[in-house]
Amino acid sequence: MTKLTQKSTSLSRRTMLKGATAVGAFALAGPAYIKNAMSSSGEINILMWSDYLPKPFIADFEKETGIKINYTGIGSNEEIINKMKANKGEGFDIVSPTNNQGLEWGPLQLLQPFDLNRVGIDKVNPAMSAIGNKDWNFDGKGSHWLPHIWGTEGIAWRTDKWAPSGDAPSYGDVWSEENAGKTMGRPHSMMLCAGLYMETIGELDPGSMWKAYESEATMRPIWEKVTAWCIARKKNLKLLWNDADTQKNGLLNEGVIVGQTWDGPPMALKSAGEPIMYQAPKEGSMAWVDGMAMPTGAKNIDQIYEFIKFSYAAKNAGKAIDSHGYNSPVSGADGFAGDAYKKNFSDAYPGASLTNLNPWPPQAPWYAEIRTEYVNKFKSS
Protein backbone atom coordinates (compact mmCIF):
# COMPACT_ATOMS: atom_id res chain seq x y z
CA MET A 1 0.00 0.00 0.00
CA THR A 2 1.27 3.43 -0.91
CA LYS A 3 2.01 5.65 2.05
CA LEU A 4 -0.06 8.83 1.92
CA THR A 5 1.96 11.82 3.12
CA GLN A 6 -0.22 14.65 4.38
CA LYS A 7 1.67 17.94 4.22
CA SER A 8 -1.04 20.03 5.88
CA THR A 9 -4.52 19.68 7.35
CA SER A 10 -5.82 23.16 6.62
CA LEU A 11 -8.43 23.33 3.86
CA SER A 12 -10.22 25.53 1.35
CA ARG A 13 -10.11 28.16 -1.38
CA ARG A 14 -11.43 29.58 -4.73
CA THR A 15 -14.22 30.72 -7.41
CA MET A 16 -15.05 32.70 -10.55
CA LEU A 17 -17.73 33.34 -13.19
CA LYS A 18 -18.95 30.94 -15.87
CA GLY A 19 -18.31 31.49 -19.56
CA ALA A 20 -16.00 33.47 -21.76
CA THR A 21 -16.97 36.73 -20.04
CA ALA A 22 -15.52 35.32 -16.86
CA VAL A 23 -12.07 35.42 -18.39
CA GLY A 24 -12.07 37.13 -21.74
CA ALA A 25 -14.03 40.32 -21.19
CA PHE A 26 -13.01 41.64 -17.89
CA ALA A 27 -13.69 46.70 -16.20
CA LEU A 28 -16.71 49.81 -13.17
CA ALA A 29 -16.08 53.41 -12.46
CA GLY A 30 -14.59 55.75 -9.91
CA PRO A 31 -11.60 58.08 -9.89
CA ALA A 32 -8.52 57.01 -7.97
CA TYR A 33 -8.35 59.49 -5.09
CA ILE A 34 -5.43 58.84 -2.80
CA LYS A 35 -4.48 60.81 0.30
CA ASN A 36 -0.92 61.20 1.45
CA ALA A 37 0.02 57.59 2.12
CA MET A 38 2.72 58.59 4.57
CA SER A 39 0.28 60.34 6.90
CA SER A 40 0.01 57.36 9.24
CA SER A 41 2.48 54.58 10.05
CA GLY A 42 4.17 54.14 6.68
CA GLU A 43 3.57 50.40 6.66
CA ILE A 44 0.85 47.93 5.76
CA ASN A 45 0.07 44.51 7.20
CA ILE A 46 -1.14 42.02 4.61
CA LEU A 47 -2.52 38.49 5.12
CA MET A 48 -2.49 36.90 1.68
CA TRP A 49 -1.94 33.63 -0.19
CA SER A 50 1.67 32.57 0.17
CA ASP A 51 2.81 33.17 -3.42
CA TYR A 52 0.76 36.24 -4.39
CA LEU A 53 3.27 39.00 -3.63
CA PRO A 54 6.55 38.24 -5.43
CA LYS A 55 9.69 39.87 -4.02
CA PRO A 56 10.11 42.18 -7.06
CA PHE A 57 6.51 43.39 -6.64
CA ILE A 58 7.09 44.16 -2.96
CA ALA A 59 10.39 45.90 -3.72
CA ASP A 60 8.79 48.06 -6.44
CA PHE A 61 5.89 49.02 -4.18
CA GLU A 62 8.12 49.95 -1.26
CA LYS A 63 10.45 51.96 -3.51
CA GLU A 64 7.62 53.87 -5.19
CA THR A 65 5.53 54.59 -2.10
CA GLY A 66 7.92 54.39 0.85
CA ILE A 67 5.44 52.08 2.54
CA LYS A 68 6.80 48.91 4.14
CA ILE A 69 4.87 45.69 3.50
CA ASN A 70 4.58 43.22 6.38
CA TYR A 71 3.49 40.10 4.51
CA THR A 72 2.02 37.03 6.20
CA GLY A 73 1.44 34.14 3.79
CA ILE A 74 -1.47 31.73 4.17
CA GLY A 75 -2.70 28.63 2.33
CA SER A 76 -6.46 28.47 2.92
CA ASN A 77 -9.58 30.51 3.49
CA GLU A 78 -9.98 28.85 6.89
CA GLU A 79 -6.68 30.36 8.00
CA ILE A 80 -7.89 33.84 7.10
CA ILE A 81 -11.23 33.48 8.87
CA ASN A 82 -9.72 31.83 11.93
CA LYS A 83 -7.09 34.55 12.34
CA MET A 84 -9.70 37.28 12.00
CA LYS A 85 -12.03 35.58 14.49
CA ALA A 86 -9.23 35.10 16.99
CA ASN A 87 -8.05 38.71 16.64
CA LYS A 88 -11.56 40.18 16.38
CA GLY A 89 -10.70 41.90 13.10
CA GLU A 90 -7.41 43.32 14.36
CA GLY A 91 -3.83 42.83 13.22
CA PHE A 92 -4.09 43.17 9.44
CA ASP A 93 -4.97 45.92 6.97
CA ILE A 94 -5.73 43.66 4.00
CA VAL A 95 -6.87 40.03 3.91
CA SER A 96 -7.54 37.99 0.78
CA PRO A 97 -10.69 35.83 0.88
CA THR A 98 -11.94 34.00 -2.19
CA ASN A 99 -15.06 35.34 -3.84
CA ASN A 100 -17.30 32.39 -2.88
CA GLN A 101 -16.76 33.07 0.84
CA GLY A 102 -19.17 35.99 1.22
CA LEU A 103 -21.89 33.94 2.92
CA GLU A 104 -19.40 32.99 5.64
CA TRP A 105 -17.90 36.45 6.13
CA GLY A 106 -21.11 38.49 6.20
CA PRO A 107 -22.44 37.29 9.57
CA LEU A 108 -19.00 37.65 11.20
CA GLN A 109 -18.99 41.46 10.82
CA LEU A 110 -15.19 41.47 10.68
CA LEU A 111 -14.83 43.51 7.47
CA GLN A 112 -15.54 47.13 6.54
CA PRO A 113 -16.68 48.44 3.14
CA PHE A 114 -14.32 50.09 0.69
CA ASP A 115 -14.68 53.71 -0.37
CA LEU A 116 -14.94 53.10 -4.11
CA ASN A 117 -14.19 56.78 -4.74
CA ARG A 118 -10.66 55.91 -3.67
CA VAL A 119 -10.39 52.81 -5.85
CA GLY A 120 -9.62 52.76 -9.58
CA ILE A 121 -12.30 50.16 -10.08
CA ASP A 122 -12.57 51.08 -13.76
CA LYS A 123 -9.15 49.48 -14.24
CA VAL A 124 -10.40 45.94 -13.59
CA ASN A 125 -12.66 43.47 -15.34
CA PRO A 126 -16.28 44.56 -14.70
CA ALA A 127 -17.53 40.98 -14.35
CA MET A 128 -15.11 40.48 -11.49
CA SER A 129 -15.59 43.83 -9.80
CA ALA A 130 -19.35 43.19 -9.85
CA ILE A 131 -18.80 40.26 -7.49
CA GLY A 132 -18.15 42.69 -4.63
CA ASN A 133 -21.44 44.51 -5.11
CA LYS A 134 -23.37 41.27 -5.60
CA ASP A 135 -21.97 38.90 -2.99
CA TRP A 136 -20.05 41.15 -0.56
CA ASN A 137 -22.39 44.11 -0.03
CA PHE A 138 -23.16 43.42 3.60
CA ASP A 139 -26.13 45.23 5.19
CA GLY A 140 -26.34 47.53 2.16
CA LYS A 141 -23.10 49.31 3.17
CA GLY A 142 -21.34 48.70 -0.14
CA SER A 143 -18.68 46.33 -1.42
CA HIS A 144 -16.45 44.70 1.20
CA TRP A 145 -14.34 42.91 -1.43
CA LEU A 146 -12.23 43.82 -4.46
CA PRO A 147 -10.83 41.40 -7.08
CA HIS A 148 -7.09 40.81 -6.99
CA ILE A 149 -5.98 37.56 -8.65
CA TRP A 150 -7.87 34.85 -10.49
CA GLY A 151 -6.97 31.37 -11.54
CA THR A 152 -8.08 27.77 -11.76
CA GLU A 153 -7.51 24.33 -10.33
CA GLY A 154 -6.90 21.57 -12.84
CA ILE A 155 -4.34 18.91 -13.68
CA ALA A 156 -0.55 19.25 -13.71
CA TRP A 157 1.91 16.57 -14.74
CA ARG A 158 5.53 15.72 -15.42
CA THR A 159 5.89 15.73 -19.20
CA ASP A 160 8.96 13.48 -18.96
CA LYS A 161 7.07 10.79 -17.04
CA TRP A 162 3.39 10.89 -18.03
CA ALA A 163 0.92 12.16 -20.63
CA PRO A 164 -2.88 12.16 -20.74
CA SER A 165 -4.48 9.53 -22.94
CA GLY A 166 -6.44 12.03 -25.04
CA ASP A 167 -6.48 15.73 -25.83
CA ALA A 168 -6.97 16.65 -22.18
CA PRO A 169 -6.36 15.08 -18.77
CA SER A 170 -9.13 14.07 -16.36
CA TYR A 171 -9.68 14.44 -12.64
CA GLY A 172 -9.91 10.65 -12.69
CA ASP A 173 -6.21 10.42 -13.58
CA VAL A 174 -5.30 11.41 -10.02
CA TRP A 175 -7.15 8.37 -8.64
CA SER A 176 -6.29 5.79 -11.30
CA GLU A 177 -4.48 2.50 -10.72
CA GLU A 178 -2.17 3.42 -13.60
CA ASN A 179 -0.71 6.28 -11.55
CA ALA A 180 -0.91 4.65 -8.13
CA GLY A 181 1.52 6.11 -5.62
CA LYS A 182 2.49 9.00 -7.87
CA THR A 183 -0.35 11.51 -7.53
CA MET A 184 -1.38 14.38 -5.26
CA GLY A 185 -4.22 16.77 -4.52
CA ARG A 186 -5.90 18.88 -1.86
CA PRO A 187 -8.55 16.83 0.00
CA HIS A 188 -11.72 18.93 -0.27
CA SER A 189 -11.28 20.06 -3.86
CA MET A 190 -9.91 16.70 -5.00
CA MET A 191 -13.01 15.00 -3.58
CA LEU A 192 -15.39 17.45 -5.26
CA CYS A 193 -13.64 16.92 -8.58
CA ALA A 194 -13.70 13.17 -8.07
CA GLY A 195 -17.46 13.67 -7.95
CA LEU A 196 -17.39 15.54 -11.26
CA TYR A 197 -15.48 12.61 -12.75
CA MET A 198 -17.99 10.16 -11.25
CA GLU A 199 -20.75 12.06 -13.06
CA THR A 200 -19.02 11.36 -16.40
CA ILE A 201 -18.74 7.62 -15.77
CA GLY A 202 -22.31 7.16 -14.55
CA GLU A 203 -21.60 6.72 -10.85
CA LEU A 204 -23.39 9.99 -10.02
CA ASP A 205 -26.22 11.75 -11.82
CA PRO A 206 -25.11 14.73 -13.93
CA GLY A 207 -25.12 17.94 -11.90
CA SER A 208 -24.99 16.16 -8.54
CA MET A 209 -21.97 18.03 -7.19
CA TRP A 210 -23.63 21.42 -7.75
CA LYS A 211 -26.99 20.23 -6.36
CA ALA A 212 -25.14 19.36 -3.16
CA TYR A 213 -24.89 23.08 -2.40
CA GLU A 214 -28.69 23.38 -2.13
CA SER A 215 -29.30 21.79 1.28
CA GLU A 216 -27.91 19.36 3.82
CA ALA A 217 -30.53 16.79 2.82
CA THR A 218 -29.38 16.98 -0.79
CA MET A 219 -25.69 17.10 0.03
CA ARG A 220 -25.28 14.14 2.36
CA PRO A 221 -26.21 11.21 0.05
CA ILE A 222 -24.07 12.68 -2.72
CA TRP A 223 -21.02 13.19 -0.53
CA GLU A 224 -21.51 9.76 1.08
CA LYS A 225 -21.01 8.19 -2.36
CA VAL A 226 -18.08 10.44 -3.21
CA THR A 227 -16.35 9.82 0.11
CA ALA A 228 -16.71 6.04 -0.19
CA TRP A 229 -15.35 6.16 -3.75
CA CYS A 230 -12.35 8.27 -2.66
CA ILE A 231 -11.58 6.11 0.38
CA ALA A 232 -11.52 3.02 -1.84
CA ARG A 233 -8.83 4.71 -3.96
CA LYS A 234 -6.94 6.57 -1.27
CA LYS A 235 -4.07 4.08 -1.51
CA ASN A 236 -3.31 5.45 -4.98
CA LEU A 237 -2.39 8.93 -3.67
CA LYS A 238 1.17 9.94 -2.86
CA LEU A 239 0.55 13.13 -0.88
CA LEU A 240 -1.93 15.82 0.08
CA TRP A 241 -1.03 19.46 -0.37
CA ASN A 242 -2.28 22.75 1.03
CA ASP A 243 -0.04 25.48 -0.36
CA ALA A 244 1.92 26.45 -3.47
CA ASP A 245 5.31 25.28 -2.22
CA THR A 246 4.01 21.81 -1.42
CA GLN A 247 2.64 21.49 -4.95
CA LYS A 248 5.96 22.50 -6.48
CA ASN A 249 7.93 20.19 -4.21
CA GLY A 250 5.62 17.29 -5.01
CA LEU A 251 6.23 17.61 -8.73
CA LEU A 252 9.96 18.26 -8.41
CA ASN A 253 11.11 16.15 -5.48
CA GLU A 254 8.42 13.80 -4.15
CA GLY A 255 7.91 11.49 -7.11
CA VAL A 256 4.54 12.93 -8.16
CA ILE A 257 3.91 12.56 -11.89
CA VAL A 258 0.32 13.88 -12.03
CA GLY A 259 -1.67 15.97 -9.60
CA GLN A 260 -4.69 18.18 -9.15
CA THR A 261 -3.18 21.64 -8.54
CA TRP A 262 -3.71 25.35 -8.79
CA ASP A 263 -2.53 26.82 -12.07
CA GLY A 264 0.15 29.15 -10.70
CA PRO A 265 2.67 26.72 -9.15
CA PRO A 266 3.06 24.39 -12.16
CA MET A 267 3.07 27.32 -14.58
CA ALA A 268 5.85 28.97 -12.58
CA LEU A 269 7.84 25.72 -12.77
CA LYS A 270 7.17 25.45 -16.50
CA SER A 271 8.38 29.02 -17.03
CA ALA A 272 11.55 28.12 -15.13
CA GLY A 273 12.25 25.35 -17.65
CA GLU A 274 11.02 22.36 -15.65
CA PRO A 275 9.26 19.49 -17.51
CA ILE A 276 5.83 20.45 -16.19
CA MET A 277 2.48 21.01 -17.91
CA TYR A 278 -0.81 22.31 -16.54
CA GLN A 279 -4.13 22.03 -18.38
CA ALA A 280 -7.86 22.32 -17.82
CA PRO A 281 -9.28 18.77 -17.57
CA LYS A 282 -12.14 17.31 -19.58
CA GLU A 283 -14.58 17.94 -16.73
CA GLY A 284 -13.68 21.65 -16.65
CA SER A 285 -11.21 23.46 -14.41
CA MET A 286 -12.36 24.92 -11.12
CA ALA A 287 -12.27 28.73 -11.32
CA TRP A 288 -11.85 31.28 -8.52
CA VAL A 289 -11.12 34.94 -7.84
CA ASP A 290 -9.16 35.86 -4.74
CA GLY A 291 -9.77 39.36 -3.51
CA MET A 292 -8.75 42.10 -1.13
CA ALA A 293 -10.84 42.88 1.94
CA MET A 294 -10.35 45.39 4.75
CA PRO A 295 -10.81 44.13 8.34
CA THR A 296 -12.70 46.27 10.83
CA GLY A 297 -9.50 46.72 12.84
CA ALA A 298 -7.37 47.93 9.92
CA LYS A 299 -5.11 50.78 11.06
CA ASN A 300 -3.32 51.95 7.92
CA ILE A 301 -6.20 53.10 5.76
CA ASP A 302 -4.27 55.44 3.44
CA GLN A 303 -1.68 52.76 2.85
CA ILE A 304 -4.42 50.29 1.93
CA TYR A 305 -5.62 52.51 -0.88
CA GLU A 306 -2.06 53.08 -2.05
CA PHE A 307 -1.58 49.32 -2.24
CA ILE A 308 -4.79 48.92 -4.26
CA LYS A 309 -3.74 51.74 -6.59
CA PHE A 310 -0.35 50.12 -7.15
CA SER A 311 -1.88 46.66 -7.65
CA TYR A 312 -4.39 47.98 -10.19
CA ALA A 313 -1.69 49.53 -12.40
CA ALA A 314 -1.41 47.28 -15.46
CA LYS A 315 2.40 47.35 -15.49
CA ASN A 316 2.67 46.23 -11.87
CA ALA A 317 -0.01 43.57 -12.26
CA GLY A 318 1.69 42.26 -15.39
CA LYS A 319 5.04 41.88 -13.68
CA ALA A 320 3.36 40.03 -10.81
CA ILE A 321 1.55 37.46 -12.98
CA ASP A 322 4.80 36.87 -14.84
CA SER A 323 6.29 35.75 -11.54
CA HIS A 324 3.54 33.84 -9.70
CA GLY A 325 1.84 32.34 -12.77
CA TYR A 326 -1.77 33.21 -11.88
CA ASN A 327 -3.89 35.78 -13.72
CA SER A 328 -4.90 39.38 -13.10
CA PRO A 329 -8.33 41.06 -13.33
CA VAL A 330 -6.56 44.32 -14.28
CA SER A 331 -7.28 45.34 -17.86
CA GLY A 332 -4.14 45.21 -19.99
CA ALA A 333 -2.00 43.43 -17.40
CA ASP A 334 -1.25 40.58 -19.78
CA GLY A 335 0.33 43.10 -22.15
CA PHE A 336 3.08 43.64 -19.57
CA ALA A 337 3.64 39.91 -19.00
CA GLY A 338 6.26 38.01 -20.95
CA ASP A 339 5.95 35.46 -23.73
CA ALA A 340 6.22 32.56 -21.26
CA TYR A 341 3.06 33.66 -19.43
CA LYS A 342 1.14 33.99 -22.70
CA LYS A 343 2.32 30.57 -23.90
CA ASN A 344 1.40 28.98 -20.59
CA PHE A 345 -2.08 30.50 -20.71
CA SER A 346 -2.63 29.22 -24.25
CA ASP A 347 -1.43 25.74 -23.33
CA ALA A 348 -3.54 25.59 -20.19
CA TYR A 349 -6.84 26.57 -21.79
CA PRO A 350 -7.01 25.14 -25.32
CA GLY A 351 -10.17 24.98 -27.39
CA ALA A 352 -13.34 25.63 -25.40
CA SER A 353 -11.64 25.41 -21.99
CA LEU A 354 -12.46 28.99 -21.04
CA THR A 355 -16.15 28.50 -21.73
CA ASN A 356 -16.16 25.27 -19.72
CA LEU A 357 -14.96 26.70 -16.42
CA ASN A 358 -16.57 25.50 -13.18
CA PRO A 359 -16.95 28.40 -10.75
CA TRP A 360 -16.82 27.45 -7.09
CA PRO A 361 -20.40 28.22 -5.92
CA PRO A 362 -21.09 30.53 -2.96
CA GLN A 363 -20.46 28.44 0.12
CA ALA A 364 -22.80 28.63 3.11
CA PRO A 365 -21.42 27.89 6.59
CA TRP A 366 -23.48 24.67 6.84
CA TYR A 367 -21.96 23.38 3.61
CA ALA A 368 -18.42 24.04 4.81
CA GLU A 369 -19.10 22.22 8.10
CA ILE A 370 -20.54 19.13 6.43
CA ARG A 371 -17.81 19.04 3.81
CA THR A 372 -15.21 19.14 6.57
CA GLU A 373 -16.96 16.18 8.19
CA TYR A 374 -16.57 14.10 5.02
CA VAL A 375 -13.05 15.32 4.36
CA ASN A 376 -12.02 14.28 7.87
CA LYS A 377 -13.63 10.90 7.32
CA PHE A 378 -11.58 10.49 4.14
CA LYS A 379 -8.33 11.61 5.77
CA SER A 380 -8.74 9.38 8.82
CA SER A 381 -9.69 6.26 6.88
What are the tens digits of pLDDT across the range 170-227?
Answer: 999 999 999 999 999 999 999 999 999 999 999 999 999 999 999 999 999 999 999 9
76 contacts: CB under 8 Å, gap ≥ 6? 10, 11, 12, 13, 242
pLDDT band at 19 (very low <50, low <70, confident <90, very high): very low
How confident is the model over 97-119, as pLDDT tens digits?
999 999 999 999 999 999 999 99
pLDDT at 289 over 80: yes
pLDDT > 90 in the chain, percent = 87
Nearest CA to 338 among 369, 315, 357? 315
What's the rounded mean pLDDT across residues 231-254?
96
Q: What is the predicted pLDDT for the residue at 72?
A: 97
pLDDT at 55 over 90: yes
Q: Which residues pair with 279 in a beta bridge?
A: 155
How confident is the model over 255-276, as pLDDT tens digits?
999 999 999 999 999 999 999 9
What's the rounded mean pLDDT across residues 121-128?
93
Q: What is the predicted pLDDT for the residue at 34?
A: 37
Q: What is the predicted pLDDT for the residue at 36?
A: 41
In whole angstroms, what is the distance from residue 336 CA to residue 316 CA? Answer: 8
339 contacts: CB under 8 Å, gap ≥ 6? none
In whole angstroms, what is the distance from residue 146 CA to residue 189 CA? Answer: 24
Q: What are phi and psi of 48, to 5 degrees?
A: -150, 160
What's the rounded mean pLDDT across residues 312-335?
94
In whole angstroms, what is the distance from residue 170 CA to residue 231 CA? Answer: 19
Q: Which residue has the higher pLDDT, 327 or 4?
A: 327
How confident is the model over 141-159, as pLDDT tens digits?
999 999 999 999 999 999 9
Q: What is the predicted pLDDT for the residue at 23?
A: 37
What's the rounded mean pLDDT across residues 283-291?
96
pLDDT at 28 over 60: no
Q: Which residue has the higher pLDDT, 333 or 38?
A: 333
The DSSP secondary structure of 276-308, one letter per residue, reads EEEE--TT--EEEEEEEBEETT---HHHHHHHH
Q: Which domains does the chain have, with CATH numbers?
A: 5-15+152-287+357-380 (3.40.190.10), 20-150+288-354 (3.40.190.10)
pLDDT band at 18 (very low <50, low <70, confident <90, very high): very low
pLDDT band at 355 (very low <50, low <70, confident <90, very high): confident
pLDDT > 70 in the chain, percent = 89
C-alpha dihedral (200, 204, 206, 207), degrees to nearest 10: -120
Amino acid at site 199:
E
Q: Are strands 358-359 and 286-292 parallel, antiparallel or unpaired?
A: parallel
What's the rounded mean pLDDT across residues 10-17?
35
Q: What is the predicted pLDDT for the residue at 41?
A: 57
pLDDT at 35 over 50: no
* Mean pLDDT computed over every residue of the chain: 90
Contact status, residue 167 vs residue 359, Cβ threshold 8 Å = no
Radius of gyration of the chain (CA): 20
pLDDT at 281 over 60: yes
